[in-house]
């Protein structure tokens, strides 16, 4: 979703701004723009890719202060007029904004009555005009006054022609990070843009502002109370945000999984005690063990990880575990009390609905935990405790390595809690050992990529696909279907295999490919019966299985074999061929794999 970058210092601002916007491309966007200031303010904007913007830029851009933005349309279609930065009527204010101004319609009407002319359909433009209206020689004061008039979510960065070299930023809901340099300072909505430039950052909290000059940054609340900044160190991970030899980030991230999976459990497996160490839970473990109910809440792929977590936690803890879409949870007055643990799962740590669900759960007295990838993200900060998945930056919009790392962490959580409750040492140790052996098994699955590429071609010409699984393989089926539709635009549905005969079976004919996840577990024979039902109706089948026995070979059009594992780890192994299938199908269909249409990596609006 929308991205923000800013620079003020002694160097030319445009190279940082353009590189920063390029790095934020992965979040999803449909237009981009930059504003540069020295004697006056110069704005360049373009619909579509960053390269369209780059082509429009004049060769010489000497300004040493500027702001840049990638927009993901909410109010008004993607167009140059709706792209940020927006300018005030007098042309002196340039402003970029992430989030949504909820009362923009009434503010817009008031401004039009006062003679302001709107040049865009956006909710953002009103902010630029309001700042012009309130400006009496002090940009910081004008921004403060305007923020008192608006409701909604925002991360904003503003410049005024009369105050060259200065950027005023403020945050409520949408992420903003200030990067501190020597004689130069930076601003970004996402740390990815700052990597390689500075390691010292201040993460703005809701209701905070920053006045950024080349030699100084002043922090305060929107109510003008001065703040002492808490500087945190950004681990430099530049090489992890480069594609290297891979044609797409998604493929690179799929192939990184042996390492990311082992990073997720590194230092956390206690073989001698047959359990897991999760330091982020130390302060809350007593309270967590007293909870009589767990709610897992998330969106998208993370929601599918939560479904796998539900099976595991309920099976081993013997307490009720539910999974809720964060967007539904927050609005339906859920039954939650101080004996409920609400665990939010999020790769980005900034999904607006997940964050709001956590706040709602906290308000009701629940213990709120987070399973996150982004260190120091809003969701991590909102939790009473939690566990990082340590998968490293995920750039492909379709989540892959973060999903498998979320499953690893949910397994660690299950082991840790179950060992305190009723799981015996040998079962715990067995699971710990199985986890240790997992990266090698993932490597084995990846060795079959060429064969999976061949098998995937069968799906490419189709318009629909059905994914089936039972038990732990059901959420894997849902995730497989989501991956396919996200990046190849083939309509795909995931279904519990047994439910197929209650509806989807009507769709099955030779034009309906069916992907069946059939690991060797207690459900295997039943899934094979479901496969027979598909076969009897001429459906084309690809089966992910741990054993390719003759019966299966006869029934399935294609079999992709994965190594044997403990049943609770099989979702990790079976999801990897599904990731590869969606990738190769999308490539065969000529789709933009890393930036699929209309999707955003981090959904920071409700
Ligand atoms: C977006 C992304 C999905 C992701 C979902 C939840 O829709 O495109 O890939 O699963 O948000 O994101 P989170 O960062 O909270 O896991």
Sheet (strand 464-469) strand order: 491-496, 464-469, 513-518, 540-545, 558-561
SS (H, E, C) 550-571: HHHHHHCCEEEECCCCCHHHHH
The residues annotated with a catalytic role in the active site are: 2, 601
- Integer Cα distance of 488 and 480 in angstroms: 12
- Integer Cα distance of 478 and 182 in angstroms: 49
Domains 3-236 and 243-436 share a fold: no
From the alpha carbon of 599, which atom of ligand 1 is closest? 8
Mean pLDDT of 77-94: 94
Number of H helices, E strands in the chain: 19, 27
Q: Is the pLDDT of residue 8 over 60?
A: yes
- Integer Cα distance of 519 and 562 in angstroms: 8
Residue nearest to atom 5 of ligand 1 (CA): 300
pLDDT band at 334 (very low <50, low <70, confident <90, very high): confident
> How many whole angstroms from its chain centre is CA 148?
30
Domain boundaries, the chain: 3-236, 243-436, 447-606
CATH number, span 3-236: 3.60.20.10
Strand partners, 321: 294
More confident residue, 510 or 127: 127
| Of 547, 539, 576, the residue nearest 564 (C-alpha) | 547
What's the chain's average pLDDT? 93
| Of 402, 408, 512, 405, the residue nearest 468 (C-alpha) | 512
Calculate how far, in angstroms, residue 326's C-alpha sits from the geometric centre of ligand 1.
Answer: 12
pLDDT band at 602 (very low <50, low <70, confident <90, very high): confident
What digits encode the pLDDT tens for the residues 410-461?
Answer: 999 999 999 999 899 999 999 999 999 999 999 999 999 999 999 999 999 9
Under 8 Å between Cβ of 540 and 529: no
**In the prediction, which pLDDT does 240 show?**
66
> In the chain, what is the straight-line distance between the N-terminal and C-terminal CA atoms, in Å?
12
Max Cα distance, the chain (Å): 81
The pair of structure tokens assigned to 205 is 């909290």
What digits encode the pLDDT tens for the residues 310-325?
Answer: 999 999 999 999 999 9
The dihedral built from the CA positions of residue 375, 376, 377 and 378, taken in this order, carries a sign that is positive
Q: Is the pLDDT of residue 372 over 70?
A: yes
Q: Which residue has the tokens 């030699």?
A: 215
601 C-beta closer than 6 A to ligand 1: yes
Calculate how far, in angstroms, residue 330's C-alpha sits from the geometric centre of ligand 1.
Answer: 17
- Integer Cα distance of 271 and 278 in angstroms: 14
**In the prediction, which pLDDT does 531 show?**
87
What digits encode the pLDDT tens for the residues 534-578?
Answer: 888 888 999 999 977 777 888 899 999 999 999 999 999 999 999
Mean pLDDT of 289-306: 97
What digits encode the pLDDT tens for the residues 248-285?
Answer: 999 999 999 999 999 999 999 999 999 999 999 999 99
93 C-beta closer than 6 A to ligand 1: no
- Integer Cα distance of 266 and 432 in angstroms: 11
Looking at 13-22, 60-69, 526-535, 569-578, which range is the least confident one?
Answer: 526-535
Percent of the chain topping pLDDT 70: 99
pLDDT band at 174 (very low <50, low <70, confident <90, very high): confident
pLDDT band at 190 (very low <50, low <70, confident <90, very high): confident
- CATH class of the region 243-436: alpha beta
DSSP E strands in 92-132: the ranges are 93-101
**In the prediction, which pLDDT does 522 show?**
85
The pair of structure tokens assigned to 393 is 């930056």
Calculate how far, in angstroms, residue 598's C-alpha sits from the geometric centre of ligand 1.
Answer: 13
**In the prediction, which pLDDT does 237 show?**
59
Residue 237 main-chain phi, psi, to 5 deg: -125, 30
Mean pLDDT of 106-115: 94
Calculate how far, in angstroms, residue 301's C-alpha sits from the geometric centre of ligand 1.
Answer: 6
447-606 maps to CATH 3.40.50.10490: yes
Q: Is the pLDDT of residue 524 over 90?
A: no
Under 8 Å between Cβ of 252 and 580: no
Listing DSSP states for 430-493 in one string gives: HHHHHHHHHHHHHHHHHHTHHHHHHHHTTTTT-SEEEEEE-TTHHHHHHHHHHHHHHHH--EEE
351 C-beta closer than 6 A to ligand 1: yes
400 C-beta closer than 6 A to ligand 1: no
**In the prediction, which pLDDT does 521 show?**
84
């Amino acid at each position: 979703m929308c991205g923000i970058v800013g620079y003020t210092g002694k160097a030319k601002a445009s190279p940082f701004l353009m590189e920063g916007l390029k790095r934020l491309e992965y979040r999803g966007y449909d237009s981009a723009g930059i504003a540069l200031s020295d004697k006056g303010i110069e704005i360049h904007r373009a619909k579509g890719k960053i390269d369209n913007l780059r082509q429009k830029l004049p060769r010489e851009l000497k300004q040493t202060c500027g702001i840049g933005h990638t927009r993901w349309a909410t109010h008004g279609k993607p167009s140059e007029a709706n792209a940020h930065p927006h300018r005030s009527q007098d042309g002196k204010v340039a402003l970029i904004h992430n989030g949504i101004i909820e009362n923009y319609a009434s503010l817009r009407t008031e401004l039009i009555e006062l003679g302001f002319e709107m040049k865009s359909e956006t909710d953002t433009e009103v902010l630029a005009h309001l700042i012009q209206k309130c400006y009496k020689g002090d940009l910081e004061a004008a921004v403060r006054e305007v923020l008192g008039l608006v409701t909604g979510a925002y991360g904003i960065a503003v410049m005024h022609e009369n105050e060259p070299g200065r950027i005023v930023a403020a945050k409520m809901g949408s992420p903003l990070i200030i990067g501190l340099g020597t004689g130069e300072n930076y601003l970004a909505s996402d740390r990815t843009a700052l990597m390689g430039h500075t390691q010292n950052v201040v993460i703005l909290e809701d209701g905070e502002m920053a006045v950024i000059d080349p030699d100084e940054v002043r922090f305060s609340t929107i109510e003008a109370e001065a703040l002492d900044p808490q500087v945190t160190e950004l681990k430099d991970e530049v090489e992890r945000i480069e594609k290297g030899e891979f044609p797409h980030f998604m493929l690179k991230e799929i192939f990184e999984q042996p390492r990311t999976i082992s990073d997720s459990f590194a230092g956390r497996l206690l073989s001698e005690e047959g359990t897991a160490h999760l330091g982020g839970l130390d302060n809350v473990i007593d309270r967590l063990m007293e909870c009589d109910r767990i709610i897992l809440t998330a969106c998208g792929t993370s929601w599918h990880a939560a479904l796998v977590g539900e099976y595991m936690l309920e099976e081993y803890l013997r307490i009720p575990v539910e999974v809720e879409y964060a967007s539904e949870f927050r609005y339906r007055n859920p039954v939650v009390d101080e004996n409920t643990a609400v665990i939010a799962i999020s790769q980005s740590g900034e999904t607006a609905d997940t964050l709001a669900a956590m706040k709602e759960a906290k308000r009701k007295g629940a213990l709120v935990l987070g399973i996150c990838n982004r260190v120091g993200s809003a969701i991590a900060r909102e939790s009473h405790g939690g566990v990082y998945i340590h998968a490293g930056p995920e750039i492909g919009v379709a989540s892959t390595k973060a999903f498998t790392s979320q499953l690893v962490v949910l397994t660690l959580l299950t082991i840790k809690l179950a060992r305190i409750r009723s799981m015996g040492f040998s079962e715990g140790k067995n699971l710990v050992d199985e986890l240790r052996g997992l990266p090698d098994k993932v490597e084995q699955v990846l060795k079959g990529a060429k064969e999976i590429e061949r098998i995937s071609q069968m799906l490419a010409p189709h318009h629909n696909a059905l994914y089936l699984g039972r038990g732990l393989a059901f959420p894997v089926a849902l995730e497989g279907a989501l991956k396919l539709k996200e990046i190849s635009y083939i309509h795909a549905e995931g279904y519990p295999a047994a439910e197929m005969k209650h509806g989807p079976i009507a769709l099955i004919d030779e034009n309906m490919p069916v992907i069946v996840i059939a690991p060797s577990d207690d459900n295997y024979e039943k899934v094979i019966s479901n496969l027979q039902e598909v076969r009897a109706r001429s459906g084309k089948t690809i089966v992910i299985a741990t054993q390719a026995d003759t019966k299966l070979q006869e029934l399935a059009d294609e079999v992709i074999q994965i190594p044997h594992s403990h049943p609770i780890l099989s979702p990790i192994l079976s999801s990897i061929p599904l990731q590869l299938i969606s990738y190769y199908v999308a490539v065969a269909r000529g789709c933009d794999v890393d930036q699929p249409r209309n999707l955003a990596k981090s959904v920071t609006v409700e």
